[in-house]
Amino acid sequence: MNDLSLKKTVYTPDSSIASPGRMICEMFTDLLVARELAWRLAVRDIQAQYRQAFLGILWAFILPLANTFAWIFLNSSGVVKIADTALPYPVYVFTGTMLWAIFMDALNAPLQQTNAAKAMLAKLNFPREALIVSGIYQTLFNASIKIVLLFGALLFMGIKPNLSLLLFPFGILSLILVGTSLGLLITPVGMLYTDIGRALPLLMQFLMYVTPVVFPMPEKGLASVLFSFNPLSPIILTTRDWLTGVSPEYLGYFVVVNIAAVALLLMVWVVFRLAMPILIERMSA
């Protein structure tokens, strides 16, 4: 029986980049089509992630919490001398590590999702954007758990939010935007070489120390230059300021970084679509 309502797809040997307008249209069409599959993948992965763990969703904030206690101990015992911060140091380091953990979840998601779906990619034809969107869904879920804990902890420590809290979601979305853009940038290479996945935690550990996560912005020296040129500095600082009711000092820099992140995301999305058929062919060989 013929069904005239079925969508017809014509495959040609021409590269999609030869028709940029059609390619962009297809990108957003696939993104729209992929949303339901992405949701099912995210639900499946979240259930699998926490079903096999005795502590369940507690793992979403155990590691940031352990990191916070470690830095509070190092600072209070004098092992590490940290300059004064605008907020009480426990508040500063706790908010910083939680926000950094959200960024890391977003950064790791594209490569983890794509690597986990290698078998499915080789056998099934589906919008590859589903993997990216699924990673964003999972990052948002884990971030919501961390944010609930953040609010409870800040109230316990005497930090009362003000109207700037209404802007805090934009900070969280900014962390996910920048993390997803950078994660998607390294995904094609990471699928070919596992060294990328192994080296990434080491690189990000160093990057965290030149971002105002546990240290305040230095006022002079090489560290001051590194912190100032680090595009993650205004993201972490502005999001923390909105959360704790402090007037943001780097709002202009924050906007510039987000505009650049949107441009980067569009560019690496195109690269991802062009690279995927080649990568799948190599994986299937």
Percent of the chain residues topping a pLDDT of 90 = 39
Residue 284 has pLDDT above 70, yes or no: no
More confident: 207 or 160: 207
pTM of the model: 0.87
Rounded Cα gap, residues 251 and 234, in angstroms: 7
Q: Work out the average pLDDT over 188-199.
A: 85
Q: Work out the average pLDDT over 218-234.
A: 90
Residue 3 has pLDDT above 60, yes or no: no
Answer for the pair 166, 141: CB distance below 8 angstroms, yes or no.
no
Q: Work out the average pLDDT over 132-161.
A: 89
Rounded Cα gap, residues 89 and 97, in angstroms: 12
Q: Work out the average pLDDT over 204-231.
A: 89
CB atoms within 10 A of CB 128: 19
Residue 13 CA neighbour count, 13 Å, CB half: 0
Using pLDDT thresholds of 50, 70 and 90, give the confidence band for residue 201. confident
Averaged confidence pLDDT in the chain? 86
Using pLDDT thresholds of 50, 70 and 90, give the confidence band for residue 11. low
User: If you average pLDDT over each of 51-65, 211-225, 255-269, which comes out highest?
Assistant: 255-269
DSSP code string of 131-172: HHHHHHHHHHHHHHHHHHHHHHHHHHTT----GGGGGHHHHH
More confident: 47 or 101: 101
- Say which range, 38-47, 59-68, 245-254, has the weakest mean pLDDT: 59-68
Answer for the pair 95, 180: CB distance below 8 angstroms, yes or no.
no
Q: Work out the average pLDDT over 74-99.
A: 85
User: If you average pLDDT over each of 36-50, 69-83, 248-262, which comes out highest?
Assistant: 248-262
Using pLDDT thresholds of 50, 70 and 90, give the confidence band for residue 1. very low
Residue 48 has pLDDT above 90, yes or no: no
Among 141, 175, 142, which residue's Cα sits nearest to residue 243? 175
Under DSSP, is residue 92 helix (H, G, I), strand (E, B) or coil?
A: helix
Among 280, 114, 99, 242, which residue's Cα sits nearest to residue 178? 99
How far is residue 73 CA from its own chain's centroid?
A: 28
Among all chains, which residue has been given the structure tokens 């940031």? Answer: 64
pLDDT at residue 25, rounded to an integer: 87
Among 128, 134, 82, 144, which residue's Cα sits nearest to residue 272? 128
Answer for the pair 133, 104: CB distance below 8 angstroms, yes or no.
no
Chain length of the chain: 285
* Whole-angstrom Cα Rg for the chain: 21
